[in-house]
Amino acid sequence: MRLVLSLALSVCFLFAQPPVADPPPVKVTKKIVLFNGKNLDGWYKWLRENKYEDPKNVFTVQDKMIRISGEEWGGIATRNAYQDYHLIVEWKWGGKTWAPRLDRTRDSGILVHAVGEDGAYGKTWLESVESQIIEGGTGDFILVGGKNKPKMSCDVRKEGREVYWHKGGEPMTRDSGRFNWWGRDPQWKDVINFRGAKDVEKPVGQWNRHEVICDGDTITNVLNGVVVNYGYNSDHKQGKIQIQSEGAEILIRKVELRPIKKHVSHR
């Protein structure tokens, strides 16, 4: 009995330990299922206000899906770091939104090459490159700074102060800010249920297939089979994967990594 109790306490102690900030990366050579449909094994939680605790159950598994309520700002992150992979995430919006984004566009995101201390950006997210999930803007790149500033290039077209990925366009390098996906509506407004004329994202309640291909120093965003953004010369090439909670309910039924079949340039 004492031995069983001791083992149980050891297991609890192990899972209570803070994650390693920058574990050595796993190079993906075979399919890796990151969500098993049962629990959040292999992930850990981080919330701006509660850090590694989740008293409001922002992150749960229900009906073989990850439910991220959006009630508090933060994310779930993989305990392992990865490099050179094809990430597939299948997600859909739930109906719930929270103040201060109660009547604003539903918002989340997938952070790749995430490194450094938890909460490095605004006490909330890891330093990373974000493949944005937001109504009307899914597929944007956002450079999320921490101790250092991620740097990446895109070929773009300019419309006023905004820049949009444009194959064969003008090369631009940034270490902060956003590269919009090619079809983002120039009249985009931060209002709930926004839909742009060229949106590839499915309507609320329908499943989206979101792919992020991290191949060396390139990152490709593919949404529902359409290449929507492409970056190169990224100085972040490995790290954890973090999925955000940012004021809107989002449901996820698949998270997996696959090997990269061949390099494809979208310049």
Average pLDDT on 35-41 reads 98
Domain annotation covers residue 1: no
Average pLDDT on 29-37 reads 98
Bigger pLDDT: 48 vs 5: 48
Average pLDDT on 166-174 reads 97
* Amino acid 2: pLDDT: 52
Q: Give 129: exposed, middle or buried? Use CB within 10 Å, 0-12, 13-18, 19+.
A: buried
Please provide the average confidence, as pLDDT, over all residues in the chain. Answer: 94
The domain containing residue 99 runs over which residues? 23-258
Residue 11 predicted with pLDDT over 60: no
Domain annotation covers residue 110: yes
Domain annotation covers residue 263: no
For residue 4, give every residue at least 6 positions away whose Cβ sits within 8 Å of its Cβ, in sequence order, or none.
Answer: none
* Amino acid 13: pLDDT: 42
* Amino acid 14: pLDDT: 44
Domain annotation covers residue 17: no
Domain annotation covers residue 127: yes
Q: Tokens 């010369």 label which residue?
A: 233
Domain annotation covers residue 223: yes
- How many percent of the chain have pLDDT more than 90? 91
Domain annotation covers residue 232: yes
The band of 17, judged by pLDDT with boundaries at 50, 70 and 90, is low
Q: How many domains is the chain partitioned into structurally? A: 1
Average pLDDT on 239-264 reads 96
Distance CA 64, CA 252 (A): 9
Task: Output the CA–CA distances (angstroms, integers) from residue 238 to 27, 116, 119, 255, in the order listed.
Answer: 9, 12, 18, 17
Lowest mean pLDDT among 3-7, 123-127, 204-208: 3-7
CATH number at residue 163: 2.60.120.560
DSSP string, the chain: -HHHHHHHHHHHHHHHSPPPSSPPEEE--S-EES--SS--TTEEEEETTTBT--TT--EEEETTEEEE--SSSEEEEESSEEESEEEEEEEEEEEEE-TTSTTS--EEEEEEEEESSTTTBTTTB-EEEEEEEETTTTT-EEEE-SSS---EEEEEEEETTEEEE-TT-EEEEESSEEEB-TT--TT--S-TT---TT--SPPTTS-EEEEEEEETTEEEEEETTEEEEEEBS-S---BEEEEEE-SEEEEEEEEEEE---S-----
- 52: closest CA among 36, 75, 71? 75
Domain annotation covers residue 11: no
